[in-house]
A and B are shown apart, each in its own frame.
Chain A
Amino acid sequence: MSPAQETLLRRVEKVDGGLDSQDVATSLGVDHQAIVGAVKSLLALGDVISAEQRSSKHWELTGEGCEIAEQGSHEARVVSSIPEEGMPQSQLMKLAFGKVGFSKAMSNKWIRLDKGHEGGPRIFKTVEHLEDLVRDKLLLVQKGQASQLEEKEKNELKKRKLLSEVTVKSYWITKGSCFSTTITKQETELTPEMIASGSWKEKKFKPYNFEALGVAPDCGHLHPLMKVRTQFRQIFLEMGFTEMPTNNFIESSFWNFDSLFQPQQHPARDQHDTFFLSDPAQAHEFPQDYLERVRKVHSEGGFGSQGYKYDWKIEEAQKNILRTHTTAVSARMLYKLAQQEKFTPVKYFSIDRVFRNETLDATHLAEFHQIEGVVADYGLTLGDLMGILHQFFNKLGEGSTSQGWGQFHSFNSLPGNVIQFKFEVGL
C-alpha cells in the first residue's frame, strides 16, 4: 500500500462525513492527481471506500491577469507613468501597456488628451490618486475569495481575458462498507497451490461479476436449413417412409415433365422457368415401351384421359435439364415399382435440391429444397392423403396448424392440393 493510500485512509477514518480530494491534496501539499490515483486503486480493492465524482468550478487568473495583479492594471500604470507635465501620446503608445491602458484610462477619465498641444497631442493626468479596482478584484480572486465578487464583475473580467473559469474534478470520499485502514489484497481465483497448502481459508476473494456472460465454447455448428432437413427426414422415417435416391441433379425432360403428363408446350418448360443444359445436352437412354405409352397418352389420350391432342416429339423429351422437382425421381421409382413381378405397397420420400430459372428476389432463389412423399397401394383415398399430411404436421410439433385447399398448380399440370400451414420451427 502506498503512503498516499495510507494517509488517505487515515484521514477518511477520522472524518465523520467525507473528504474532498482537492482539500486533501492541498492540505497534504501533493498534486491532486496523486490523490486521484490513490482513490482509484483503493476503489479497485472492493468496498473499502466509496468515491463520488464531483466537479466544482473555480475562478482563476489568466497569465495576463496575474501580471496585472502584480503590477497593476494597464490603465493604472498609464497614469502612474505620466509625469506632471504630461507625456506626448506617441511616447505613451510606445510603452507595452500603452495602447490598452490609454483607452481604458480615458474612459475612466483619469487622463485627458490635449490634441492641439504644440509638439503633438499630449496626455495629462487628471487625478492624483486612483483606485485600481481591476487590480483589487483580481487580487481577491487570487486569494481565493472570488465569491466576494459579483457575477457581472467576474464575467467582465472574463471578457477581458483576465479571469477564466476552471472546472476542477474532485472526489468526495467516504467510508465504504468494508472500510479498514489496513488493506488486504483480494484473490481472484482458487489456485492449486492454495488447495495444496490450505491457504485459501485465510484469503479473501474478489466478488465474481454474475451479470456478465461467460466464455462462449469454441464449437462447430450445423447449418440451420440442414437441421430442419434432418428433422423432416426423421419424421418421414418414423412414419415408415423409405428414402428415394435423389442424388441426380441433372434429369431428362422425359422423367421430369413428360412422364408426369406435363404437355410439351407448357410454359414451365420454357427457357424462363427451367435450366437447360448445353453439355450434356440430351439424354440417350429410355425404357422404350414406357416411352411409347407416354407418347400415346399425350398425343391421343388413353387410360381414361382425353390427352392433350398434340404431336409429341421425342427431341423435346430428350432435353437434359436441372430438375425442377424431385417428382422426377418419384416417377422413376414408380416405374421401377411397376416392373416388379408382384406389386408391394410402398411409401417413399425425399428431401433434396431442385432448380428453377425464375426471377430471384428476397425470398426466392434459383435453388431450393423440396420435400416429396409418395404412397402407393390399393384403395387409397383423398382422405388418406389428408390424414398423412395432418399427422406429418402433428409430428412437427405444437403450434402447427394446417388447412387444405384444392388448387391447380401452374408449374405442372397435375391436379394438386395446396396445403396452407403455419408452424413454428423449434430447433
Chain B
Amino acid sequence: MPTVSVKRDLLFHALGRTYTDEEFDELCFEFGLELDEITSEKDIISREQGDTKAEGASDVILYKIDVPANRYDLLCLEGLVRGLQVFKMEAPRYRRVSPASSEPQRLVITKETTAVRPHAVAAVLRNITFTQERYDSFIELQEKLHQNVCRKRTLVAIGTHDLDTISGPFTYTAKPPGDIRFKPLNQAKEYTAQELMSLYKTDSHLRHYLHIIEDEAVYPVIYDSNGIVLSMPPIINGDHSKISLNTKNVFIECTATDLTKAKIVLDMMVTMFFQATDLSVPGTVSPHHHPAVCFLLWENILEPTGQYVHSDYPHSICNPQPFFGISESTEHIAQLLTKMCLRSEVMSDGEQIEVEIPPTRSDVIHACDIMEDAAMAYGFNNIPRTTPRTYTIANQLPLNKLSELLRQDLAAAGFTEALTFALCSQEDIADKLLKNISETRACRISNPKTAEFQVARTTLLSGLLKTVAANRKMPLPLRLFEISDVVLKDESKDVGARNNRRLCAVYYNKSPGFEVIHGLMDRVMQLLEIKPGQGNGYHIQAADDSTFFPGRCAEIFACGKSIGRLGVLHPDVINRFELTMPCSALDIDIEHFL
C-alpha cells in the first residue's frame, strides 16, 4: 500500500476543522485508509541518521497515511482532502471548459512515435495559483503516479510545463538521439540526447529510467511551434518550460505505451489540481464552482481522428439490494454512493440506480466496485451479520486426514514435529546428501533472492538435518519428524509438477539407533494396519543408497511397492550438514496408503 505523507495542519486547514489523533484515525478507518504513523521530519531524520543530524529539521507534524493501491485519487493532499470531505459536502464535478480567448491547444502525434512510445494525451490547467506547498504537492503527485500506476515511467510518463513560456501547436514525435538537442531541466547548457544518456548514468534518480529508451533507434521528444523542446519522455523535461511558483497556466502531457493508463493518469493530474485554479480557496468546494480546465485529448494520428472528450461520465446501472443483505431504501443507497463521489440517482423503476463514475475513480470497472463503495459508506460494522442457509456436510481431504492421524501418533511415539522450508538450495538436496542433482527431478526457481531459494525440496531429510544442526545444544537423543509435501517434476500434470506427501524421521544420538528408526517404521505400519510379511504386508530388504552408510540401508516395500528407505546416514552426509553424532533416518511416501 502506498503511503502518503501530509502535513497535519495543512490537512486540517483544508478539511475545515481539526481532529484529535484518535478521531482522525477513526475517520481514516471508516474510509478504508490507515493512519500508519504520526511523525515529523525531525523524527524521521533522527531515526535514520541520528539526533545530531536532525537538529534544525522541521518539527511540523506529518501524518503518514496508507492508501489503497488502486485509489490513485488519494495519492496527494488535495485528493485525500476531497475524498474525506465527501462525507460532508457534495462531490465536485469536473467539466471541460473552452479557453476564454482563443482556440483550444493542439498536440499532434506523428507516426514515428509508434516505434517507441505510441500514445500521448494532454491537457491545460488555467489560472492556477501555486503556493510552495501546492507546488511541492504537484511534484509529489507526479512522482507517486510514476511509481504506481505508471509502473516506474515504463507505462506512462508525465511532463508538466509552464504554458506561458511555450506556444502551440505542440508536436510529439520521435527522432534519432543525435538529432535531439536541448537544455534539460536545471542544467546550464545544451546537450544532445546521447550526451544526456551518459550524463544521467550517474544521477541517482534518473538513471533507473534510461533503459526505457536507451537502446531504441529513435527517442520520443515533444516540441512546441518554435522548435523548443518541452521534454524527452520518459527521462527529463526541458529547462525552458519549467514550472515555477509564478506559473499561471500549466500544460500537462502524458506519453505512454498503454493508452488507458495514460488517460487515467491525465485525469488524476487534472482533477487533483483543478482546485488550485482561480476562484477557489483550498478546502471549500462549492457545488457551483466552475473549474477552468480544458481537456484536449488527441488520439494517435494514424487512427481516424476522433476527439475524445470527457463531457459525459461513464454510467453504470446496478441493483444494490441483493448484494447487501440489508434492507435499506434505494434512495438511501443512492445517497451513500453520492457520499463516495459516485453521484447516483434512483431510476424510474425505483429499484435500480444510475451511477456516474467521475474521472477520479478509474478503479471502478464493475458494479461490484460500486457496491463496495456503498458498503464502505454504510459502514461495514453496521451490516447485520447473518448465517447463510447453505447446508453442507464437511469432508476432509483423505490425505490430510491420514497426515493428521499419523502426526499425533508419531508424537506419542516420542518424536518431535519440525516444520521446515519448502525451498532450499541445490546443495541441500543433492551434494549434501551425496546425490546427483540430475537424479532428483527438482523444480528450479528462476528468480531466487538468495541461494536458500534455488529449488523446491524433493526430500524432507535436508530440512530435518538442518533443524538438528540448529539444535545441537539440546540434550541427546534428538528425535524429529515431519509429515509434509515435497515437489517433484511430473510431465503428466498440467503444470508439469506435483506435490508428494512424505513422512520423514531422524534419530540423532551417540549411537545411530537404526533399531529405533526401524521400530518407528514398524509402529507406523502397525498404525496403518499393514502386517509384516510379503504380499499384502510390508518387508524391508538391504539396499544401496549413497546417502546411507553401506550395509546399513534398507528399502521398504508395502503391498509389493517400494515406498521409501531407512538406514544410518553416511558419515559424509553427517559432516556436510555440520553434525557430529551418528544419525539414522526414515523416509516414506504416505500417499500409497490412501
Contact = CB atoms under 8 A, between A and B. Distances in A.
Interface of A: 218-223, 225-226, 230, 233, 236-245, 247-252, 265, 267, 271, 275-286, 301, 304-310, 320, 322, 345-347, 353, 355, 357, 366-367, 375, 377, 379-384, 386-388, 390-391, 403-408, 410, 413, 415, 417
11 contacts: A220-B413, A220-B479, A249-B485, A250-B497, A345-B390, A347-B394, A353-B485, A366-B453, A382-B380, A404-B381, A408-B69
Contacts of B399: 245, 247
- List the 10 closest A-B pairs by CB distance, nearest first: A381-B325, A280-B496, A383-B325, A410-B69, A278-B446, A285-B494, A387-B385, A408-B68, A305-B366, A243-B397
Interface stretch (B124-132, B403-411, B575-583): B403-411
B365 interface: yes
B453 A275 contact: yes
B385 A280 contact: no
A322 B380 contact: no
Contacts of A244: 397
Contacts of A305: 365-366
B347 to A, nearest CB: 16
Nearest to B70: A408
A247 B392 contact: no
A160 B418 CA distance: 70
B439 to A, nearest CB: 15
Nearest to B397: A243
B362 to A, nearest CB: 10
B489 interface: yes
Contacts of A379: 322
Contacts of B375: 382, 406
A366 to B, nearest CB: 6
B82 interface: no
Contacts of B30: 405
* Chain B facing A: main interface SS: loop
A326 B415 CA distance: 30
Given A220-B415, A222-B411, A415-B372, A278 B495 contact: no
B380 A404 contact: yes
Given A218-B414, A223-B418, A381-B322, 6 more contacts: A265-B151, A275-B453, A276-B447, A279-B489, A283-B496, A388-B388
A241 B417 CA distance: 27
Contacts of B324: 381-383
Contacts of A236: 394
Contacts of B417: 220-223, 226
Contacts of A353: 422, 485
B60 interface: no
A366 B419 CA distance: 14
A347 B260 contact: no
Interface in B64-85: 68-71
Nearest to B487: A249
Given A280-B497, A375-B388, A415-B369, A243 B400 contact: yes
Nearest to B30: A405
A220 B410 contact: yes
Contact of B380 (A248, A252, A417): A417
The interface centre, meaning the residue of B71, B325, B481 with most chain A CB atoms within 10 A of its CB, is: B325
B385 A249 contact: no
Contacts of A308: 260, 365
B308 interface: no
A301 B365 CA distance: 9
B422 A249 contact: yes
A277 B455 CA distance: 9
A225 B419 CA distance: 8
Contacts of B446: 276-278, 281
Contacts of A267: 151
Given A239-B394, A410-B69, A221 B495 contact: no
B326 A306 contact: no
Given A223-B419, A240-B393, A247 B485 contact: yes
Given A353-B422, A382-B383, A275 B447 contact: yes
A247 B326 contact: no
Given A223-B418, A243-B400, A383 B386 contact: yes
A305 to B, nearest CB: 4
Contact of A413 (B70, B367, B501): B70
Given A309-B260, A310-B258, A320-B496, A381 B386 contact: yes
Contacts of A406: 32, 372, 375-376, 380
B407 A407 contact: no
Nearest to A417: B380
Interface in B409-439: 410-419, 421-423
The interface centre, meaning the residue of B392, B396, B449, B487 with most chain A CB atoms within 10 A of its CB, is: B392
Given A310-B260, A391-B387, A282 B68 contact: no
Contact of B499 (A242, A248, A275): A248
B388 A346 contact: no
A281 to B, nearest CB: 7
B498 interface: yes
B513 to A, nearest CB: 14
A380 B496 CA distance: 37
A283 B421 CA distance: 24
Contacts of B444: 277-279
Interface in B207-264: 258, 260
Contact of B388 (A282, A310, A322, A387): A387
A307 B249 CA distance: 35
Contact of A250 (B368, B412, B443, B501): B443
B456 interface: yes
B257 to A, nearest CB: 10
A245 B444 CA distance: 23
Nearest to B372: A415
Nearest to A227: B417
Contacts of B414: 218-220
B387 A384 contact: yes
A249 B495 CA distance: 10
The interface centre, meaning the residue of A220, A345, A386 with most chain B CB atoms within 10 A of its CB, is: A220
A265 B485 CA distance: 31
B29 interface: yes
A384 B30 CA distance: 20
B49 interface: no
A87 B499 CA distance: 110
B140 interface: no
